[in-house]
Amino acid sequence: MKKLTSILFVFIFLISCAPVPQSYEPIIDMRGTSIDWAQYAQDLHECQEYAARICPTDQAVGEALAGAAFGAALGAILGSGTGNVGEWAGIGAGSGGLSGAAHGAGSAIEEQKRIIRNCMRGRGYKVLE
């Protein structure tokens, strides 16, 4: 249980609110248009700033807690037949927490990318993805 909890905290620590939108650049159709590269860079930066308002860590923590609760309950039910309710509940909580954290962070990162794509479309760029 302690190992799984430690892994969960390390995972949550490693993801942060800004890196994904700061490094993500949507695929833009540049053909047939003249691009002002300084304006493009400014537009992309501003769109990335909007996306940074979505924090993967917040969603990872929320879904980790929900996953841990569900995993603990399921583990306790499965463990009741073996007489090791606490051990099974701990294993369920740890694995449910890790799964929830990964899902929450992944969902937030996809939301950040969607915000950047929509923002760039709104500024007149032809976003291909």
pLDDT tens digit string along 47-95?
999 998 887 776 667 777 777 777 777 777 777 877 777 777 777 777 7
Give the per-residue pLDDT at 45: 94
Phi-psi region of 16 (alpha: psi -120 to 50; beta: other; left: phi over 0): beta
Q: What tokens appear for 96 in the block? A: 């449910």
pTM greater than 0.85: no
pLDDT of residue 59: 66
Each as own residue / partner, the long-range contacts of residues 33-42 (CB below 8 Å, 24 or more positions apart, any chain) are 33/126, 40/125
Domain ranges (residues) in the chain = 37-129
pLDDT-derived band at 8 (thresholds 50, 70, 90) equals: low
What 3-state class would DSSP assign to 35?
coil
Which two structure tokens, joined as six digits, stand for 127?
């976003």
pLDDT tens-digit profile of 36-48?
A: 889 999 999 999 9
